[in-house]
Structure 1
Amino acid sequence: MAQALQQRSASVGPRFLLACLSACILVLAGCASLPAHPDRTPSYASTDTSDTLLASSLAPRLARNPGQSIFYPLGSGPDALAVRMALARAARKTLDLQYYLFDADTTGSALLGELIDAADRGVRVRLLIDDLHSTNQDKLWAALDAHPNIETRLFNPFANRSARWAEMMVDFGRLDRRMHNKLMVADNLVGVVGGRNIGDAYFSARPDVDFSDLDVMVAGPVVQAASKVFDQYWNSESAYPVAALVPEGKEAPEELRRFRKEVEAKGDVARASPFVQELLDSGLARGIEVGHLPGHVGSARVIADSPDKIENDPDDASTHAIPRLRALMEAAQTELVLISPYFVPDDDTEKWLAAIAKRGVKVRVLTNSFAATDVSAVHAGYAPRRLALLHAGIELYELKPTASTGLTQDRGRHARTFASSRATLHAKAYVVDRRFLFVGSPNLDPRSSRLNTEMGVVLDSPTLAAWFVSDVDKRLPEIAWRIGVRTDAAGQEGLTWTTMEQGKEVTTDKEPGMSVWQHIGIDFLGLLPLEDEL
């Protein structure tokens, strides 16, 4: 009898504990719900900006090129930060920022300091931040929101601010859909669009890692189109005022004012650092502050998902931007260059790329190697596709972690496309026939296509596009491994990795940077049904 009770206890125990754990998760996740009717007052981009510094500096050039836009690539992290800070200083009416991730580290604090200064002089500032990476930032956003000229909203937020993990477990379907857009607009006249979030790793300010990325500064009609996209997101049902989510902000205004002073002080310290001072003293930043914007002139258009995408079935393409981007690529006649850090082609994308290559179009892909990627699961989704892509005639290159990357400028003319320390590719750029250059936030992966919202700009500029591709091609042998196919004595196919090291060509048939155990781990991840999440 005692033995039977012990056996029953042993079998019931784990189930009982699991039931208790599940109940606790449900209780934690159910302790909060999103406000049913938040005070979401609509607002829109300003159209009364003709008397601003930026407007007066742009007017002559835009008048000479009616219907055209101005654009200037920002591949260097320091340049990308300097432009954002200079635009914040130049703004006279409005500043709109929309980001997937905004870290209040050194560079983030420096930019926040500029935003607060702008608000202090009467500029209306709207901040729209995706809520996935805003853990422990409620007080920051509430403090900024308490400023009379700053309004902060969180996109697709967690209802339970203290037990996010529990809510994610019970509401994964909703919280798995994120706003991946990156946009900053000053006075509805000049903007920055691209792949960078806000944080030290994106601006070459961290010694351990550098997300090599690409943005583009734009001015002219394309900016008004980008502002309309921002307004759609800002006024959408998924954008919640931070005051509705953090009620303590209303209850402790003095505490928030004190905290904002701390944020301002941190920003002042960051802006006083030699790194930031050098940026603000640069010719590029100074030029923007006095109204001299460099750049190419040509037609440009925005491609963006609707904010409703996160509410719809992932397979409902009516709100998706990727079909328009694919149509642009599909029109390639001679060459298609794809730079995507997270490159995870599903069956449909693999066949689609193969069909383009079969028409005689030269297709080249640059993505992260295993040694350079920051997401191993993404490599597990990509790696099994390599042989089929190579057999279809598609060239594959994988960035080395030792590469110098980042599209830099030499303060007047374009310099090397790729330049930084420890490289992790984060740029998303697609070039069609050396004429059209797309710069934005979407990767060529199922997540960008189906789950997240994305945006970017298509630039019609043969000069810029041809320079970009030529510069990448010139550096590829050194910054990346070219993937090839080998056949062993038993007739089994495998891969090879070829690169230039110290002026000599080196080839290996072992995946660089991958140990035996890591190889086993990647193979295991490849067996899991994760493709739709990558």
Structure 2
Amino acid sequence: MHDSAVIAWMLFATQAGFQLIFIIRALLRPHREPSSRFAWVLVIALAPGIGVLAYVLLGEANLGRSRVGRMRAALDALPRAEQVAGASAEAAIPERCVPLFRVGYSVNHYLPVSGNRAILLPDSASTIAAMVADIDAARHSVHVLFYIWLTDESGLKVMAALKRAAARGVVCRAIVDDLGSRALIRSAHWRDMALSGVRLAAALPVGNLLLRPLKGRIDMRNHRKIVVIDNAITYCGSQNCADAAFAVKAKFAPWVDVMARFEGPVVRQNQHLFASSWMAQTDEDLTSLFSEALPTPVPGFIAQVIGSGAGVRYSAMPETFVALMNAARRELVITTPYYVPDEPIQAALCASARRGVATTIVFPHRNDSWIVAAASRSYYRDLLEAGVEIREYVGGLLHAKTLTFDGETTLIGSANIDRRSFELNAENNILLHDEFFTRAMRARQQVFIDAATPVTRAQVEAYSLWRQLWNNSIAMLGPVL
């Protein structure tokens, strides 16, 4: 046999060996649906070189051993989650809603606590104004965590408020995602905040791009939006620290978000979530924050923080969404910019409509992700056939992540209904039971519904063959991401 033939056979055997190793790894990977394993086996088998490379980069939700270790060490050092916000208020929750808060408890062990109050902010500019006012009134500490923080008008206002607070002796800490806020971190504004006394950290630093795949996926990000002031006030919702004009993706503007300002014991749970992120990235111990006495109990609603991510139980957010969808009896309304569900969520949403619940879901008409837009629309036909009302918001990019049901329960936060939020991102949400707040949230959802066009079965059935093929092909990639 010629030397060239021997070399060819050796290369073929090496390639086949690598394929087999990664096919076995894909089959043995835990926490995956059979469809995901099957998709990866096909990709690796049919596109050997590219398939193996894609699996190395995207095949596993691998945060990296050192990062996971730091997260667990931070949680071990902090007080236990169930101890930070007072006694459980489960006894005061209506019986049919108790399982929802138990699902939430299973994620982080935050208890449902009573005595909370909240206001829904009118818009993005009002949210920034409220944050700045609270920071200017802060006496002890200000903690800020954002996925994206832009150096636009809103971003600069918050920076200026932090510098003013630090100048008068308030301890200010700000942490941003290293990828989402990379422009800020590399700007003079970041250095100016540090020189002004604001303590800064970057979440999940990317480091060397060539070595990053060996240490964990580059696209596993901290997507949370948390502001905590004086251990007494917190903000939760979908808004990054940016103008509605959102300069980095201005053609989709305005970005339409929902944020709420909370007071009460639930603040301590958001503080605990912030502290776990901070301590995982820095050497500063924040456990003393939880030695302060809880505020005097006052009347208020029951709420619970749900913080998902790679460091907590797998499938936390999809299980939460499914539980909420299954609990609805009269009405279920959802807004989300990104809809790439797993099978249980799609089934739960369809089942909600089929059992007579008035089920509405609102998406943006123009999405900043063409991949997600195509994948989302591949699910329209089944949703519409089940009786789900689909609307597409036309007043900008609807970025709000909200869920209400039966006029009494609300979920607000940063998590989308897509696999990225489920498996890759660190997210924060607040689940609450309160008719007054839910009525306000439902009214806001109605504003979105009124500014959205209905999607009909006739429209979806009129999609061209090529459009259907495109949407379904993109959606088919969901399990491999």
Give the TM-score taking structure 2 as reference length.
0.68
1:381 aligns with 2:375: yes
Aligned residue among 207, 220, 223 for 1:159: 207
> 1:210 aligns to what?
254
> 1:302 aligns to what?
305
* Alpha-carbon offset, residue 189 of structure 1: 0.4
Distance 1:79 1:363 in 2: 30
> 1:434 aligns to what?
407
* Alpha-carbon offset, residue 338 of structure 1: 0.7
1:105 aligns with 2:152: yes
* Alpha-carbon offset, residue 41 of structure 1: 9.9
> 1:351 aligns to what?
347
* Alpha-carbon offset, residue 427 of structure 1: 0.4
Q: Which amino acid aligns with 1:138?
A: R
> 2:460 aligns to what?
495
| Matched ranges for 1:51-66 at <5 A | none
Q: CA RMSD in A?
A: 3.8
Once the two structures are superposed, what CA deviation does each residue of 1:331-376 show, in whole Å capped at 9, x if it has no partner? 111111111111222323211222222322221100112xx21111
8 Å CA contact 1:78–1:203 kept in 2: the answer is no
8 Å CA contact 1:107–1:205 kept in 2: the answer is no
Relative distance call for 1:445 and 1:321 in structure 2 (3 A) is closer
SS at match of 1:128: strand
Distance 2:305 2:475 in 1: 37
Relative distance call for 1:172 and 1:379 in structure 2 (3 A) is farther
1:189 aligns with 2:162: no
Relative distance call for 1:325 and 1:230 in structure 2 (3 A) is farther
Once the two structures are superposed, what CA deviation does each residue of 1:257-288 show, in whole Å capped at 9, x if it has no partner? xxxxxxxxxxxxxxxxxxxxxxxxxxxxxxxx
8 Å CA contact 2:149–2:155 kept in 1: the answer is yes
Once the two structures are superposed, what CA deviation does each residue of 1:454-481 show, in whole Å capped at 9, x if it has no partner? 111123221232343245446634x111
Distance 2:68 2:350 in 1: 48
Relative distance call for 1:185 and 1:201 in structure 2 (3 A) is same
Distance 1:206 1:179 in 2: 20
Once the two structures are superposed, what CA deviation does each residue of 1:292-347 show, in whole Å capped at 9, x if it has no partner? xxxx94222211125614xx8xxx34xx3442343233211111111111122232
8 Å CA contact 1:436–1:462 kept in 2: the answer is yes
Distance 1:360 1:524 in 2: 28
> 2:320 aligns to what?
324
Relative distance call for 1:188 and 1:474 in structure 2 (3 A) is closer
SS at match of 2:356: coil
Aligned residue among 219, 222, 232 for 1:176: 219
Tell me the number of residue pairs that the alignment of Structure 1 and Structure 2 aligns: 371
1:123 aligns with 2:166: no
* Alpha-carbon offset, residue 133 of structure 1: 2.2
Specify the structure having the higher radius of gyration (Cα). 1
Distance 1:365 1:36 in 2: 35
> 1:459 aligns to what?
432
> 2:270 aligns to what?
226
* Alpha-carbon offset, residue 110 of structure 1: 1.6
| Matched ranges for 1:2-151 at <5 A | 67-136=114-183, 137-138=185-186, 140=188, 143=191, 146-147=194-195, 149-151=197-199
Q: Which amino acid aligns with 2:155?
A: G
> 1:529 aligns to what?
477
Query: What is the aligned-residue identity percentage?
Result: 25
Q: Which amino acid aligns with 2:413?
A: G
* Alpha-carbon offset, residue 114 of structure 1: 0.8
> 2:452 aligns to what?
480
8 Å CA contact 2:309–2:424 kept in 1: the answer is no
Distance 2:381 2:282 in 1: 45
SS at match of 2:206: coil
> 2:95 aligns to what?
none
Q: Unaligned 5+ residue runs, structure 2?
A: 1-48, 54-65, 80-112, 285-298
8 Å CA contact 1:73–1:216 kept in 2: the answer is yes
Give the TM-score taking structure 1 as reference length.
0.61
SS at match of 2:348: helix
8 Å CA contact 1:77–1:202 kept in 2: the answer is no
8 Å CA contact 1:202–1:213 kept in 2: the answer is no
Relative distance call for 1:532 and 1:330 in structure 2 (3 A) is farther
Relative distance call for 1:205 and 1:322 in structure 2 (3 A) is same
1:445 aligns with 2:446: no
SS at match of 1:98: strand
8 Å CA contact 1:446–1:532 kept in 2: the answer is no
Distance 2:187 2:340 in 1: 37
> 2:338 aligns to what?
342
Q: Which amino acid aligns with 2:217?
A: R
Q: Which amino acid aligns with 1:448?
A: S
Distance 1:465 1:524 in 2: 35
Distance 1:433 1:35 in 2: 40
Q: Which amino acid aligns with 1:124?
A: V
Q: Which amino acid aligns with 1:129?
A: V
8 Å CA contact 1:154–1:241 kept in 2: the answer is no
Distance 2:189 2:473 in 1: 37
Relative distance call for 1:97 and 1:393 in structure 2 (3 A) is same
SS at match of 1:97: strand
Distance 2:325 2:397 in 1: 25
> 2:359 aligns to what?
363
8 Å CA contact 1:154–1:240 kept in 2: the answer is no
* Alpha-carbon offset, residue 145 of structure 1: 6.7
* Alpha-carbon offset, residue 93 of structure 1: 0.4
The structure with the largest helix share of the pair is 2
Once the two structures are superposed, what CA deviation does each residue of 1:127-171 show, in whole Å capped at 9, x if it has no partner? 1111112334235476257447422111111123xxx4x456x45
8 Å CA contact 2:340–2:475 kept in 1: the answer is no
8 Å CA contact 1:440–1:455 kept in 2: the answer is yes
* Alpha-carbon offset, residue 397 of structure 1: 0.8
Q: Unaligned 5+ residue runs, structure 1?
A: 1-17, 23-33, 46-65, 243-295, 404-422, 487-493, 497-508
Relative distance call for 1:471 and 1:147 in structure 2 (3 A) is closer
